[in-house]
């Protein structure tokens, strides 16, 4: 009897896993540079913020079509740091989070790395 129950549980776990992976609406995109982002029209789709500097590279974005959440990151060359930071505004309730339009940013100046996400809807 225990073997039958175990077999049934394993069957339903396998079916759940297959359905979940088949209907998963999470998409991950990686771009070597800004030209590839523009070619894929990822900025127009709203997956990547339009303020990326020309030197942006190693660009990644992950978005979930079901929840409309997106996360991403990119690296940049130091020559573009001042212009990038001028466009970002500090978020009032946070010390290290910056904001631009509907995106939130965390800038790691030591590594020339920016992580971003879309603003949660309140």
Indicate the domain borders of the chain. 25-118
The pTM (predicted TM-score) of the whole model is 0.77
| pLDDT of 114 above 90 | yes
According to DSSP H, which parts of the chain are helical?
2-22, 34-40, 81-87
User: Is 40 a residue whose pLDDT tops 90?
Assistant: yes
Check pLDDT > 70 for residue 24: no
- pLDDT, position 22: 64
Place of tokens 């212009």: 83
Average pLDDT, the chain: 88
Q: Are strands 26-33 and 113-118 parallel, antiparallel or unpaired?
A: unpaired
5-14, 27-36, 59-68: which range is least confident on average? 5-14
């Amino acid at each position: 009897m225990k073997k039958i129950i175990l077999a049934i549980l394993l069957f339903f776990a396998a079916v759940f896993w297959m359905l979940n992976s088949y209907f998963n609406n999470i998409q991950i995109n990686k771009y070597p540079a800004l030209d590839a982002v523009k070619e894929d029209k990822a900025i127009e789709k709203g997956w990547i913020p339009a303020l990326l500097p020309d030197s942006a590279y190693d660009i990644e974005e992950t978005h979930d079509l079901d929840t409309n959440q997106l996360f991403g990151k990119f690296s940049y060359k130091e020559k573009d740091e001042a212009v990038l930071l001028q466009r970002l505004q500090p978020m009032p309730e946070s010390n290290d989070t910056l904001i631009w339009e509907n995106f939130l940013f965390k800038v790691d100046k030591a590594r020339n790395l920016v992580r971003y996400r879309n603003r949660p809807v309140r």
